[in-house]
Amino acid sequence: MDELIGILQEIRPEFEFRESQDFLADGMLDSLDIVTLVAALDKRYRISIRGVEIVPENFRNLETLAALLRKYGVSA
Amino acid sequence: MRTNVIEFLEATARRLPGKAAVIDARGSVTFSELLDRANGIAAAIHSRTPARNQPIAVYLPRSKECLAAFAGVLLSGNAYAPLDTKSPAARLRVLLGKLEPALIITDPGHLAELSEAGVSDDCILLDAGSTAPAKLPGRRTVDTDPAYIIHTSGSTGVPKGVVVSHRGVADYIDWARQCYGVTESDTIGSQAPFHFDNSTLDIFLCFAAGATLVLIPEEHFLFPLRLVEYLAAHSVRFIFWVPSVLASVARLDILSQTELPPLAKILFAGEVMPARCLNYWRAKYPHALFSNLYGPTEITVDCTYYIVDREFRDDEPLPIGFARPNMEVLMLDDDGRPAAEGERGEILVRGSALALGYWNDAERTAAAFVQNPLNPHFPDPVYRTGDIGYRNQRGEIMFVGRRDQQIKHLGYRIELGEIEAAAMALPEIRNACVVYDPEESRIAMFYESVRPVGAGELRKQLLAKLPKYMVPALMTALPELPQNANGKVDRVKLAAAVRERLYG
């Protein structure tokens, strides 16, 4: 989980991702960030996240992101 | 001849009063309601200021209320200046200092941000949502009066306010409506933020043709699947988007994974459209019209257009096409002579849609809007785009690139110099060079610092000074920036380093 937080903080250093249950509602990630995040996760874990998985439900918070990565066999 | 582009909306409100004009996340408004609200705003403006032909800034989120405010400003005989509600306070302060608006229309939720940017209360007009019957004692305009002012990046760090006339907009919209056959049966899916001039086409096609304008909620651009589902749910037929949004759908192959929206007209402008992305969309929409448009803000959105009429290989460049009616494109070589077919030259543009200049900036206006070098005989202004192009064997104009350090990123025109100026104003930075990697659409910065400072810390500081889309994605500290033979920072070398992924 620390690694995931590290990746998020590379993108938006000004936010404390551990404290939010909803990154989107809290305005912590915008469209550029999502693209950057998907690219960073793909690269870091050598996966290719599918378009249908790039939906708000998977990007709400650390738990939903970790669950998404688990689908690709990654335990973050 | 129209003397004010509000006449588009007035005519449609008479013809289709009960039809939905604008739909946003919170509901919809009909054409007659929209005009009544605009009249309410115009009445409020008149009660506060005698201003005429002055900028009135609109600081509201993308919404039907925001469009009513634009229409109200036009009715009052002034020019609307859309401001980005996501702009950092420091940039807003600089911009407003130059713009000196007669009033700023906002809502209670945004007052704090404006006061942080140094705006005093007597300049604020709160949008109370009031309406007034049509036809106030109007203060009308003539066609060469300003309709709107939209800001673009300036290399010195001060954004330039481009002043566009009623005639420019009316001419552009009359052409586009006819060229693309837009009617009230078209639903427009609007992507462009209002502070970006692509929004002009969306807004005024809605006003002029009676097409319903759907303001796609911004969060849908985060998730291309949701975006396409939203288009389908609203039966959107017409879109005018920046290529990067079309590419986000193509990259994830979203169109194979959900119901196809009934798109019939797909227009794009604002940056280079890769043929690979076009080919993806065309395969899914073999019967739709695709059109590539080109033009800086200074010539009312677009001055050339190309309607896709043949196949392109994935690696082939697309034409930007031909000058639209009432416009002429000149291509001049380094000696100021017309470039021959196939020969590169700077793109200069003349015609009805030329902007009036930059607001409060005679110097930069004089540098960009010059006398037609091919015609020394009578006043004949042309705009020097700074873009390089050539004509191919078919007579189509091809875009090659820029003469200077300006780039197009996510549809925004950005002076790399503005980013460098912001970085070098930070106490830690001694020297900075910003380059762009068009392949990966990312801005990269190299810097020398006075003390070790991390990319995260720099990013945070730059976010306070620049809009998000201007903050470099890649920041690399170097002990010393490389120099070329002239002793200047070697941009070519740094750009190559980014391309070859020596960093990041």
For residue B469, list chain A residues with Cβ-Cβ distance below 8 A. Answer: 32
Residue B504 has pLDDT above 60, yes or no: no
Q: What is the pLDDT of residue B376?
A: 84
Q: Is B357 helix (H, G, I), strand (E, B) or coil?
A: strand
Condensed to tens digits (0 to 9), the pLDDT of residues B352-361 reads: 899 999 999 9
Residues B304 and B324: beta-carbon distance below 8 Å: yes
Condensed to tens digits (0 to 9), the pLDDT of residues B292-345 reads: 999 999 999 999 999 999 999 998 999 999 999 999 999 999 888 999 999 999
DSSP, residue by residue, B144-164: TSEEEEEEE--TTSS-EEEEE
Q: What is the pLDDT of residue B113?
A: 93
Domains and CATH numbers, chain B: 1-165 (3.40.50.980), 216-404 (3.40.50.12780), 409-499 (3.30.300.30)
What number is the average pLDDT over the span B482-499? 79
Condensed to tens digits (0 to 9), the pLDDT of residues B401-454 reads: 888 888 888 888 888 888 988 898 898 898 899 999 877 778 999 998 888 888
B410 CA: distance to closest CA in chain A (Å): 9
Residue B52 has pLDDT above 60, yes or no: yes
| B10: confidence class by pLDDT, cuts 50, 70, 90 | very high
The chain A residue lying nearest B504, using CA atoms, is: A40
Test mutation, A36, A42, A50, A54, chain B, max B CBs within 10 A: A54
Token representation of residue B144:
């060469």
Q: Measure the CA–CA gap between A26 and A19, rounded to whole angstroms.
A: 11
What number is the average pLDDT over the span B460-477? 89
Give the start-to-end residue ranges of the domains of chain A: 2-71
Instruction: Look up tokens 């810097």; give the residue.
Output: B447
Instruction: Look up tokens 């970790």; give the residue.
Output: A66
DSSP, residue by residue, A16-50: -GGG-S-TTTTT---HHHHHHHHHHHHHHHT----
Phi-psi region of B351 (alpha: psi -120 to 50; beta: other; left: phi over 0): left
Residue B136 has pLDDT above 70, yes or no: no
Which pTM does this prediction carry?
Answer: 0.87
Q: What is the pLDDT of residue B209?
A: 98
Q: What percent of chain B has pLDDT over 90?
A: 70
Test mutation, B84, B87, B222, chain A, max A CBs within 10 A: B222
Q: What is the pLDDT of residue B288?
A: 98
ipTM over 0.85: no
Q: Calculate the alpha carbon distances from B379 to A74, B166, B373, B375, B382 in Å.
A: 68, 21, 11, 8, 10
Is A2-71 in CATH node 1.10.10.1100? Answer: no
Q: How many CA atoms lie within 13 A of B12 on its CB side?
A: 26
Q: What is the pLDDT of residue B135?
A: 63
